[in-house]
């Protein structure tokens, strides 16, 4: 009886492996497979497709003190990756991914003609970035914060970054 269970378990995983492999391709059989996969048990890995990311996003911020003086813009830097260690432990990956998703959402919203500036200020993405900046260590005399998201074409780029959005000053 235990031999039957072992063979059955191995068989289930082999079938799952074959179906997962088939699911990676754009074919009629893969489309049928996806239609019947109601529990989404078959993963689909599209590492570099269909639309790979080609831009980097940068979060810059500045503070206004109680006396009205405004600081220079500073860029939020996310911790550098440690290639060997990050394979096992990489807690900052989610923070970088969250920022990327929020930036892409704000880019999409800013490009829509039917969305005005006031509507963007009440979106989840805008408020999440603002909330993140409120957690940055401050001096006691800081009264408000302003942020901007810049978009660049990547590591080797001759163009200056483009402004995606620049917020108003918000009280902290």
Q: Residue 49 pLDDT > 60, yes or no?
A: no
Same domain, 69 and 133: yes
Q: Is 50 among the domain residues?
A: no
Q: Is 48 among the domain residues?
A: no
Same domain, 146 and 94: yes
Same domain, 62 and 27: no
Q: Is 113 among the domain residues?
A: yes
For residue 47, whether the previous peptide bond is cis, meaning omega lies within 30 degrees of 0, is no
Q: Domain range for residue 20?
A: 2-36
Mean pLDDT of 144-148: 94
Q: Is 153 among the domain residues?
A: yes
What pLDDT score does 8 carry?
93
Same domain, 27 and 96: no
Q: What is the mean pLDDT of the chain?
A: 85
Q: Is 25 among the domain residues?
A: yes
Q: Is 80 among the domain residues?
A: yes
Same domain, 21 and 98: no
* Torsion region of 142: left, alpha or beta (phi above 0 gives left; psi -120 to 50 gives alpha): beta
Q: Is 75 among the domain residues?
A: yes
What Rg do the C-alpha atoms of the chain give, in angstroms?
23
Mean pLDDT of 55-66: 91
If one counts the domains in the chain, the total is 2
Same domain, 25 and 102: no
- 49 or 105, which is more confident: 105
Same domain, 160 and 121: yes
Q: Any idea which residue has 């996003």 for tokens?
A: 57
Distances (CA, A) of 61 to 40, 76, 77: 40, 8, 11
Same domain, 90 and 18: no
With cut-offs at 50, 70 and 90, classify the pLDDT of residue 44: confident
Q: Residue 72 pLDDT > 90, yes or no?
A: yes
With cut-offs at 50, 70 and 90, classify the pLDDT of residue 16: very high
Q: Is 6 among the domain residues?
A: yes
**pTM for the whole structure:** 0.66
Same domain, 131 and 103: yes
Same domain, 19 and 65: no
């Amino acid at each position: 009886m235990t031999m039957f269970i072992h063979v059955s378990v191995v068989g289930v995983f082999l079938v799952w492996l074959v179906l997962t492999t088939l699911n990676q391709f754009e074919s009629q059989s893969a489309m049928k497979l996806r239609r019947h996969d109601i529990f989404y048990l078959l993963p689909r890995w599209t590492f570099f497709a269909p639309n790979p990311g080609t831009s980097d996003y940068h979060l810059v911020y500045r503070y206004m003190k109680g006396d009205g003086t405004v600081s220079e813009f500073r860029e939020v830097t996310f911790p550098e990756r440690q290639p060997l260690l990050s394979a096992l432990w990489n807690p900052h990956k989610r923070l970088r991914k969250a920022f990327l998703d929020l930036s892409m959402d704000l880019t999409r919203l800013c490009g829509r003609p039917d969305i005005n500036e006031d509507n963007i200020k009440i979106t989840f993405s805008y408020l999440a970035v603002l909330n993140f900046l409120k957690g940055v260590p401050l001096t006691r005399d800081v009264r408000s914060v302003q942020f901007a998201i810049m978009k660049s074409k990547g590591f080797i780029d001759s163009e200056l970054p483009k402004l995606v959005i620049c917020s108003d000053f918000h009280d902290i």
